[in-house]
Amino acid sequence: MSVPTTAALVGTTGGAGTTRLTVELATALATGGHDVAVLDAAFATQGLSDYTSGTLDSDVTALVTDEADESLAAGLVELEGSTDGRVAVCPAAAPFERLARAMTADAAQAFEGRIEEAAREFDVVLVDAPLLASNPTVAAATACDRVALVAPATDRGADAVGRLTARAADVGIDVDTVVSTFGSLPDADVAVPESETKRPTASPTCRDDTELAAGVANVASDLLDVDLSALTESDGILSGISR
């Protein structure tokens, strides 16, 4: 069996904390020495751009439409952090006209190509994806080695897991992991607790939140077969955490 290197984290409802979890997971993996790329498939909400500062020279929607001939590097922004590996994000930040063009089937195919390009240049590729209700999200889930559904620990989240699992099956996508956020769901494979810090600019918080760090480490293990236990024996951000 090949080692998974690409994963789509698919939110089952709005406000599930998918973007935040993706950034935290990327940082934990980078602390373990992995170079990680995060691609934004949430073209409409564009939440990943909140984790960057300054003006973007390009964005992921441009790279699948107007700048399809440019390399992925044109849209990547390095996130600052004291990690052995690096985290580079490719957020969406588009006007409505380009957003509409980026939602087409042709653009979705180009997005699959960007995931493949990132996989050649990085150890791990994570895709921040919204509901399985658009061409880019379906393309991301289809192209990635692993797929996780991310649901809040609420009745609404529990209902959404069943609905999204059925929708994934309808389009031939296997769900590998269910992650509950803000607490635990009975059917979740991994639970990640709520963080006291809410502001994107304050992320990642697993540096200071040991319970959150433990949950993120469990996601890395369950979703990507990556063992972060070595970090529990060091002075890294997951120091003192065990599975």
pLDDT digits (tens, 9 = 90+) for 148-180: 999 999 999 999 999 999 999 999 999 999 999
Which residues have CB under 8 Å from 151's CB, separation 6+?
11, 12, 13, 16, 157, 158, 160, 161, 178, 179, 180, 181, 185, 188
- Cβ atoms 145, 5 nearer than 8 A: yes
| Percent over 70 (pLDDT), the chain | 88
Q: Is 174 part of any domain?
A: yes
| CATH number of the domain enclosing 158 | 3.40.50.300
Q: Is 137 part of any domain?
A: yes
- How many structural domains are present in the chain? 1
Q: Is 53 part of any domain?
A: yes
Quick one: average pLDDT of 99-108? 96
- pLDDT tier at 241 (50, 70, 90 boundaries)? very low
Beta-bridged to residue 13, according to DSSP, are none
Choose between 115 and 201: higher pLDDT.
Answer: 115
Q: Is the pLDDT of residue 218 over 90?
A: yes
219 lies in which domain range? 6-233
Residue 53 has what pLDDT? 84
Beta-bridged to residue 90, according to DSSP, are 39
Q: Is 238 part of any domain?
A: no
pLDDT digits (tens, 9 = 90+) for 197-209: 655 554 566 666 7
Q: Is 220 part of any domain?
A: yes
Q: Is 241 part of any domain?
A: no
Q: Is the pLDDT of residue 112 over 50?
A: yes
- pLDDT tier at 137 (50, 70, 90 boundaries)? very high
pLDDT digits (tens, 9 = 90+) for 1-25: 578 999 999 999 999 999 999 999 9
pTM, two decimals, is 0.92
- Cβ atoms 5, 124 nearer than 8 A: yes
Choose between 56 and 112: higher pLDDT.
Answer: 112
Quick one: average pLDDT of 224-240? 66
Q: Is 240 part of any domain?
A: no
Q: Is 239 part of any domain?
A: no
